[in-house]
Structure 1
Amino acid sequence: MAARDPIDPKGVIAESYRIEGIDPSQCRSIFLDWALSTDSGPDGPAPLIAALLARHAPAHPDHPMTAVLREGQARPARTGRRGGRSGRTG
C-alpha cells in the first residue's frame, strides 16, 4: 500500500492530469472534491494549492486542472457588507 499523500490524499488531482480530454468543468468538480477531502490547516488551502502547482504545472502548463488550481489561488473579491438588520434598514 502506498503512503498517503498529504497534499492529494485521494489522488484526485494527480488522476485528473491523466484523464484524456478532461474539460475545465470536470476539473472544477475534481478540485471541489479535493478541497472538501483535504485538511488545509490554519493557513487555508493556499499552501497546498501552491504545492500542487509546483508538482504538476511544469509538465502540464496548458492543462485545464492547472488553470483551475491557479483560479483556486486567487483571493475572492471583497463584496462588502452582506445582509443583516442594518443592511435592510437604511
Structure 2
Amino acid sequence: MAKDGQGPDDPKGLIADAYRIDGIDKAECRSIFLDWALSLSGDTGPAIERLLVGRGDHPMTEVLREGLGEPVRTGRRGGRAARIER
C-alpha cells in the first residue's frame, strides 16, 4: 500500500486521511479506526501490521498498535442458567 493513499489494506483511505489531519486526537482516531475495521472482512491484524510500517509518533499509530492487542474477555455473558433463579 502506498504510505499516503488507498490500497488493499485501506480501501477507503481512512487511515491515510487520519494521518493527514492536523491536530487529530486519539478519540477521533478510534472512531476512524472503527469505521476502517468494520469495512474490512476477516482478521484485521495483518493489515494493521502493514499499515504501521514506517509510521512515527501519531495518535493513529497508538490506536493501530492497540488494535493489535487481544480483545479483553469479560467472562460469561449470560445464557439460560444466568436467567433462572436458584
Normalising by structure 1, report the TM-score: 0.79
The CA deviation at 1:45 is: 0.8
When the two chains are superposed, the root-mean-square deviation of aligned CA atoms in Å is 1.5
Corresponding residue for 2:3? none
1:18 equivalent among 17, 20, 23: 20
Cα displacement (A) at 1:36: 1.4
Q: Deviations over 1:18-76 (max 9, x none)?
A: 1110001110111111111123x3xx11111111112x42xx2x200000001111101
> % of aligned pairs identical?
61
Aligned residues: 80
Unmatched 5+ residue regions in structure 2?
1-5
Aligned to 1:52: 51
User: Alignment partner of 1:17: what SS?
Assistant: helix
Superposition TM-score, scaled by structure 2 size: 0.82
CA distance in 2, matches of 1:15, 1:85: 46
Query: Unpaired runs of 5+ in structure 1?
Result: none
1:76 aligns with 2:71: yes
